[in-house]
Homo-oligomer: A and B are copies of this chain.
Amino acid sequence: MKLEKLIGDILRKKRWTLSIAESCTGGLICDRITDVSGSSGYFLGGMVTYSNESKAKYLGVPSDDIKRHGAVSPQVAKKMAQGVRRSFDTTFGLSTTGVAGPTGGTKRAPIGRVFIGLSEGRRTWVWKLDLKGGRREIKKKASEKALQYFYEKLIPGDFLK
């Protein structure tokens, strides 16, 4: 069974809600989550914040964090996840920021570098990925990984105890 379906089943059963902030994955995670019938019951919305301005305006990511650490950094992934969760007032906030390529890579943030953020209550997790492939491949792999990490946090079922 696909991850978006497995995640949906848990969220619905537990009456938990989800919002998503995507940068490098460009809407693909929202697209997958909303492929599941009934997802409107737990998925409240998402933001594709491609520009730094929108990361600050809609997710409350401090411009100072972006300046200091770069948009592709664990700090920004964390703030995006927290920000989208706060904006949509959901149980969970999931985020991605990275370099999908084939241009735009730097020494600090090479092509394929992606950070995934997950926020719940007072806890936030960040994962770092170094992916290979073309632009579409990196988007797909990053989306799959984000859903996989989120699912792995959900299955112990010990959230909100």
Q: Is A43 an interface residue (CB 8 A)?
A: yes
A46 near B47: Cβ-Cβ < 8 Å: yes
Q: Is A127 an interface residue (CB 8 A)?
A: no
**How would you classify the secondary structure of chain A's contact residues: helix, strand, loop or mixed?**
mixed
B48 near A46: Cβ-Cβ < 8 Å: yes
Q: Is A153 an interface residue (CB 8 A)?
A: no
Question: How far apart sit A35 and B48, CA to CA, in the bound complex (Å)?
Answer: 13
Q: Which of A50-58, A74-82, A112-120 is found at the contact surface with chain B? A: A50-58
Q: Which residues of B contact A27 (CB under 8 A)?
A: 22, 27-31, 33-34, 46, 48
Q: Is A135 an interface residue (CB 8 A)?
A: yes
Question: How far apart sit A154 and B35, CA to CA, in the bound complex (Å)?
Answer: 29
